[in-house]
Structure 1
């Protein structure tokens, strides 16, 4: 059978249709012969005018079947809908066939043949479709190796639909369902048992389960986290179902079973955004985003697009990053039928002339400054470049926005700016100080920084900063690193057993940045509520366990994946903070706070910036760090050692 089926599946679509049409015509003739046999016990060749019936049956059946779309179906994926279409087509055929026999009154043809033959024809055609489904799909499945043995968590609509899709792809051997509903436990779906949560450990061991798929879209975050925590102890790979919208649109298929969402690893539910705050500075305005191709910048662009700005200006110095986000936004615009003009511009924030040109031409109402060097060890090794990009890039962009009379300027900052132990964090705090100093002035004199600047620039721009911690899933995030290391068989690398970080998902961070910027009045440092800090070691263990593997350590030397401690990197802290001072103020949004941060007035700060620029242009890293040490609270070469020792005691 396999030797016959594999070549048949390999035939072109047109050849397969010819085979199906020929089969149906043969079945039409066979059903006529059987009808005569059952009605008048005739087994020989047709007599009198009976031969006309043999011509009439296929002559009627073929155009009706074509019109009803029976030859567009794929046999091995045939389901109840296809069988229902077959029944309708044969029903129409039966009415016309019986009517024709009544009108023609052929000799030797009983009128009851017009009833018996369509019923036989329906039986034969339906049986051929069902047989083809099991035969062809079964053979195709044997050609592919199964990837695992699966239980579906959720015996509702999503779980049943998923089971049907898996039956077609044969990606996994489906062994049963899990559900919390006591009314369903112990019953079956298509012959597969439904287990209760307490029965899962025994079922996993007895049935050799390798994967569990979460298929309960309506489950709340707290309940979902509780389920995942229970499954962590089992030697199974926990996966999640692609969104039903993505499945329906064809963007993903059931073969794209996903790793757990980053939110599942974080165990924290995002707060729904305030629609009015989101739209305030965006709807029908010209919006400019720097660093548009980066992790945060690109997500800002996606969410800004959905608020229907008049124009979205993308500023990015990485050519491929700019190309990628521009293409994505073009598709998003077409998908949602937006009228937004998307303008991709290659530019470096270090180039003030280019930024002035851009702002003068497009006159942005709102600017989101996400461009920065953020990788701690790299900036530590390239302090001059880090300062030029993070400090003077921010100054340049803010100056260009102010000169073009932008209404709002929002800096995307970081928790590493608080008592920093590295150049990256210190440079971001210096960028905050730049904006705080500018925000406090009705006009800003750039004479010390630019000999060509003769007059102070009027300040009509509202400056604000939004400070938050690590985002899960960004290019420098630990989660993609761990996933890659898991695929490579380990080890997972953690810099210190006690290192902790605040985490937030990229979409939530971008939403909160947009909402915080809309609440600004000038000079505020907004701080996002990041929830509880997460130990990186715990996150690594969680990812190993949810991948169906075990951690190799002293207690479990036969484990699958080792977690290796590599030591703190240059400038890295054991923990991060979000506030320099105490007692942050609340805002209209429960996850956005307002920090009270001291700053240096512009007349005193401008000479500091001038000295730092000279040091950066001369790559004088010693002088750069001395200036940072004087201006940034908590920054110093020995700060990390003290922080580490304090935690280790």
Structure 2
């Protein structure tokens, strides 16, 4: 926005491409001059009207003197009421009322002048009808001038904004879709212009909603976006199931349309800029129907109880902390060895849950002597064990550290849970523990075997439960955040193999499974989750590129780097010789994996921990393969051990 001096500078500088809506305001003297011009024209028009009525003016003083008298009195009252002080395009009822007061006072003074002139000289200076016609014409002219300027700037502003706004269709013709469209239309802050509605139906060709046309899917399929004059589509994520979402998104990506998702109508109308329309993310397409949590049972297990979460600063652990905090536990101890992430989760949960009692312990789960005082002091009711090293290539190259954290750490936490009579111990495992091809998966399988062996140990009262699931969306080090960073950097996107596939679930879904398993387990089970259909990573990459507005292979390339050490093409949730049992939740099954006795697994774990303290990593992995016979290395230096 500019004033006149800024405008002048731009003109003299050679930039004559100036939008009228850039003008912030005109100087007051310019407004006054325009008003005086309108008053002079109104005075002349009054005599034209009188002449058309066949009434001759009084021959008292010259017409120019009469004009000076009438306009001068009017201008004096305009100064008194400061009618020219406001910005015309923002004129209000108060500004119009000031004009009316100035006109009425002018009329009263001129009528008084006429009366005095009549009593003194026996004649009026100006005919009375002229004064009344002048009052009416001048007031209406000044009012219309301001109204026209106000409307002009409003229309110009709308036209300017509409050229900057994205022209979008709203998907659906339901009440919810109409409400979202109305909220967008009523919110001038949003950079979107709703130009129509999109529907699967084909019987609404001539119908309109909110004055906007309804476009059928068939018409969009047969017509380009340029002919329709649209740039994107706004959809309501919650109104579509997975199949509908994928079908529509495939069409939109094929037509090179941007895809936006709407927040709730209430948030849009409130102007909450933190919850505005956003680009559709790949997570929205991979989300599935979440597990139905039995909140009463989950709450009973956590309400006013002491809870321990190991690995509580990680992706899964921190979400478990957030979900557990909603059930009003007496205490939540968040344990992790990573200082900065632990500090960050502390800041977050203390702000979100100020009424919950938190303790933050910077402890390595491999350090038994540091763990035991916590169990002795707080007497936990539930332990969620999420602490683990999980990055396959790093663990493959550093197997000793994985032995200490994934195996010894799990042994320490599980044994202390049994010793201090923790009601339930829930271990977070991975689909990579099934027929493992890498050290990370094998260490997690060894931890599963040890935890399960404690269940039937004499004197044990703790219920030991294991949960096993695939990749979680957005977790630290996962593929989706990596692809997002690579897209932001301009590419290329790196994929290890064109045929690699993975199962996906959201972090909240994974943690809901963990909480649910903690309530339904009788002890010793390995719970696996119905992960749906696996996703081909190259298809995931192509979709993410298109959702970001680029063309795969043209604007952004995909590069294949080869399988990393220990990586396999397909992850499994169940081993080949495993049987599954259903539970009352159709999305959760019990895996009946082979088990080992406590004496056998404890002896092997002791051996591998001792080896990890001094032996070469090949010797360590050799013992790991004895613990997990199905562990067959893939694309790794340890293949020679097979």
Q: Give me the TM-score of the superposition, normalised by structure 2.
A: 0.75
Secondary structure of 1:312's counterpart equals strand
Task: Say if 1:366 and 1:57 are closer, same or farther in 2 by CA, change over 3 A.
Answer: farther
Counterpart contact for 2:202–2:218, Cα < 8 Å: no
**Which residue of 2 is the match for residue 320 of structure 1?**
340
Give 1:518-533 correspondences, 5 Å limit: 518-533=519-534
* Deviation by residue 1:108-127 (Cα, 9 ceiling, x = unmatched): 59999999999999877776
**Stretch deviating more after TM superposition (621-630 or 204-213):** 204-213
Task: Say if 1:56 and 1:216 are closer, same or farther in 2 by CA, change over 3 A.
Answer: farther
Cα distance between partner residues in 1 of 2:27 and 2:423: 69
Aligned match for 2:184, one of 162, 178, 183: 162
Cα distance between partner residues in 2 of 1:114 and 1:288: 84
Pair 1:352 & 2:368 matched: yes
Task: Say if 1:358 and 1:434 are closer, same or farther in 2 by CA, change over 3 A.
Answer: same
Cα distance between partner residues in 1 of 2:162 and 2:225: 25
Pair 1:260 & 2:289 matched: no
Cα distance between partner residues in 1 of 2:456 and 2:304: 29
Alpha-carbon offset, residue 420 of structure 1: 0.5
**Which residue of 2 is the match for residue 556 of structure 1?**
none
**Stretch deviating more after TM superposition (410-419 or 345-354):** 345-354
**Which residue of 2 is the match for residue 469 of structure 1?**
470
* Deviation by residue 1:446-492 (Cα, 9 ceiling, x = unmatched): xxxxxxxxxxxxx3322111000111221222222222333333332
Cα distance between partner residues in 2 of 1:386 and 1:545: 38
**Which residue of 2 is the match for residue 569 of structure 1?**
564
Task: Say if 1:330 and 1:231 are closer, same or farther in 2 by CA, change over 3 A.
Answer: same
Cα distance between partner residues in 2 of 1:198 and 1:315: 56
Secondary structure of 1:412's counterpart equals strand
**Which residue of 2 is the match for residue 374 of structure 1?**
390
> Where does the alignment leave 5 or more consecutive residues of structure 1 unmatched?
9-17, 444-458, 553-558, 644-649
**Which residue of 2 is the match for residue 598 of structure 1?**
594
**Stretch deviating more after TM superposition (378-387 or 194-203):** 194-203
Pair 1:240 & 2:256 matched: no
Alpha-carbon offset, residue 236 of structure 1: 3.1
Secondary structure of 1:441's counterpart equals coil
Aligned residues: 582
**Which residue of 2 is the match for residue 329 of structure 1?**
349
Task: Say if 1:636 and 1:158 are closer, same or farther in 2 by CA, change over 3 A.
Answer: same
Task: Say if 1:233 and 1:287 are closer, same or farther in 2 by CA, change over 3 A.
Answer: same
Cα distance between partner residues in 2 of 1:305 and 1:379: 32
RMSD of aligned Cα (Å): 4.7
Alpha-carbon offset, residue 277 of structure 1: 3.5
Pair 1:216 & 2:236 matched: yes
Alpha-carbon offset, residue 206 of structure 1: 2.9
Task: Say if 1:186 and 1:3 are closer, same or farther in 2 by CA, change over 3 A.
Answer: farther
**Which residue of 1 is the match for residue 402 of structure 2?**
386
**Which residue of 2 is the match for residue 396 of structure 1?**
412
Task: Say if 1:120 and 1:357 are closer, same or farther in 2 by CA, change over 3 A.
Answer: farther
**Stretch deviating more after TM superposition (430-439 or 356-365):** 356-365
**Stretch deviating more after TM superposition (494-503 or 43-52):** 43-52
Counterpart contact for 2:403–2:443, Cα < 8 Å: yes
Counterpart contact for 2:311–2:335, Cα < 8 Å: yes
Alpha-carbon offset, residue 572 of structure 1: 0.8
Cα distance between partner residues in 2 of 1:163 and 1:438: 62
**Which residue of 1 is the match for residue 573 of structure 2?**
578
Counterpart contact for 1:6–1:140, Cα < 8 Å: no
Counterpart contact for 1:210–1:235, Cα < 8 Å: no
Alpha-carbon offset, residue 563 of structure 1: 2.7
Secondary structure of 1:386's counterpart equals helix
Task: Say if 1:346 and 1:208 are closer, same or farther in 2 by CA, change over 3 A.
Answer: farther
Give 1:169-184 correspondences, 5 Å limit: 170=191, 176-180=196-200
Counterpart contact for 2:184–2:194, Cα < 8 Å: no
Alpha-carbon offset, residue 616 of structure 1: 1.2
Secondary structure of 2:239's counterpart equals coil
**Which residue of 1 is the match for residue 55 of structure 2?**
none
Task: Say if 1:38 and 1:394 are closer, same or farther in 2 by CA, change over 3 A.
Answer: farther
**Stretch deviating more after TM superposition (477-486 or 112-121):** 112-121
Pair 1:537 & 2:559 matched: no
Task: Say if 1:45 and 1:489 are closer, same or farther in 2 by CA, change over 3 A.
Answer: same
Task: Say if 1:210 and 1:542 are closer, same or farther in 2 by CA, change over 3 A.
Answer: farther
**Which residue of 1 is the match for residue 59 of structure 2?**
none
Counterpart contact for 2:502–2:570, Cα < 8 Å: yes
Cα distance between partner residues in 2 of 1:479 and 1:424: 21
* Deviation by residue 1:255-295 (Cα, 9 ceiling, x = unmatched): x622325131x263324433224323222222221222211
Pair 1:283 & 2:303 matched: yes
Task: Say if 1:318 and 1:186 are closer, same or farther in 2 by CA, change over 3 A.
Answer: farther
Cα distance between partner residues in 2 of 1:490 and 1:598: 45
Alpha-carbon offset, residue 161 of structure 1: 2.5
Alpha-carbon offset, residue 360 of structure 1: 2.9
Secondary structure of 2:557's counterpart equals strand
Task: Say if 1:290 and 1:117 are closer, same or farther in 2 by CA, change over 3 A.
Answer: farther
Aligned match for 2:454, one of 433, 438, 444: 438
* Deviation by residue 1:168-219 (Cα, 9 ceiling, x = unmatched): 454x676654344657645567876542222224553434978423333552
Task: Say if 1:130 and 1:342 are closer, same or farther in 2 by CA, change over 3 A.
Answer: farther
Alpha-carbon offset, residue 388 of structure 1: 0.8
Alpha-carbon offset, residue 135 of structure 1: 4.8
**Stretch deviating more after TM superposition (407-416 or 179-188):** 179-188
Alpha-carbon offset, residue 372 of structure 1: 0.8
**Which residue of 2 is the match for residue 422 of structure 1?**
438
* Deviation by residue 1:74-93 (Cα, 9 ceiling, x = unmatched): x9xx9xxxx9xx67x899x7
Aligned match for 2:272, one of 239, 250, 268: 250
- Of structures 1 and 2, the larger Rg is shown by 2
